[in-house]
């Protein structure tokens, strides 16, 4: 059996969010395990749906070359995704960017995600081309999105969108935060948003498995 490759844990978790339980809920406390399959090692995510209790299980192949996380989110290396197509990445980006929470920390988190998702769309464009090629779309919702707004998959336009999210994130970090409590929750704030442009942390400082899910 051939499994789709999940380049990183962040990418696997995003894919799982995009594939809810049959009851419609996305809430599952995923447990990751490494299994041995005929083809080699694979990553298995299993858990019970928080809503209906159904047992859910997804298995992903490991990438040929491991991508070390550099801040959250790290969806993968330079190679394009095999889990989400270009249309889905842009849908994710649009959805997150159109719903940026008011508080600075979560806003930064949303902008990081929106920016990273646009970068994933750009990875589908070969160096000598100016738009995402046809084979960058293989899901129903991805293909549909491109049919409605084909111009959004041009390199130039994607780069503008990406830079806009970067700028917004920078502004956010510069803005005063009068309503922040004097003793912010350091543990929580360190898990997210450390990929701000001025923050030159090395990837090994931020193992992706430390990411806490905000469910509950």
Site residues (CB under 5 A) for Zn ion?
21, 23, 25, 49, 51-52, 54
Q: Rg of the Cα trace of the chain?
A: 18
Nearer to Zn ion, 51 or 94 (CB): 51
Q: How far is the CB of 20 from Zn ion (least distance, A)?
A: 8
- Which secondary structure element, helix H or strand E, spans residue 59, and what is its range? strand 55-61
What is the C-alpha end-to-end distance of the chain, expressed in Å?
35
Q: How far is the CB of 23 from Zn ion (least distance, A)?
A: 3
Q: How far is the CB of 54 from Zn ion (least distance, A)?
A: 5
Nearer to Zn ion, 35 or 52 (CB): 52
Q: How far is the CB of 181 from Zn ion (least distance, A)?
A: 36
Could you check whether the bond before residue 73 is cis, i.e. omega within 30 degrees of 0?
yes
CA angle 5–99–27, rounded 5-degree value: 50
Q: Are 96 and 110 in contact (CB under 8 A)?
A: yes
Nearer to Zn ion, 27 or 94 (CB): 27
- Integer angstrom CA distances of residue 41 from 56, 60, 77, 94, 192: 20, 9, 19, 34, 29
Q: How far is the CB of 22 from Zn ion (least distance, A)?
A: 6
Nearer to Zn ion, 21 or 172 (CB): 21
Across the strands, what pairs with 37? 40
In this structure, what DSSP letter does residue 49 have?
B
Q: Tokens 């508080």: give the residue.
A: 103
Q: Are 37 and 43 in contact (CB under 8 A)?
A: no
Nearer to Zn ion, 27 or 119 (CB): 27
Q: How far is the CB of 50 from Zn ion (least distance, A)?
A: 8
Nearer to Zn ion, 19 or 141 (CB): 19
């Amino acid at each position: 059996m051939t499994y789709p490759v999940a380049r990183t844990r962040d990418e696997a978790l995003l894919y799982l969010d995009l594939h809810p339980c049959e009851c419609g809920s996305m809430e599952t406390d995923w447990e990751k395990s490494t299994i041995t399959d005929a083809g080699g090692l694979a990553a298995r995510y299993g858990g019970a749906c928080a809503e209906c209790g159904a047992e859910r299980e997804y298995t992903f192949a490991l990438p040929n070359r491991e991508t070390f996380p550099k801040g959250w989110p790290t969806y993968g290396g330079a190679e394009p995704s095999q889990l989400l197509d270009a249309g889905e990445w842009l849908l994710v980006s649009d959805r997150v960017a159109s719903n940026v929470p008011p508080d600075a920390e979560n806003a930064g988190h949303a902008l990081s995600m929106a920016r990273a998702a646009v970068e994933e769309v750009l990875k589908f464009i070969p160096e000598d081309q100016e738009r995402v090629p046809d084979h960058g779309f293989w899901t129903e919702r991805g293909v549909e999105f491109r049919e409605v707004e084909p111009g959004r998959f041009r390199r130039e336009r994607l780069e503008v969108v990406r830079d806009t999210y970067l700028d917004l994130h920078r502004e956010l970090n510069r803005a005063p935060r009068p309503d922040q409590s004097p003793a912010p929750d350091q543990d929580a704030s360190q898990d997210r948003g450390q990929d701000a442009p001025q923050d030159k942390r090395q990837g090994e400082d931020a193992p992706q498995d430390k990411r806490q899910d905000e469910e509950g």
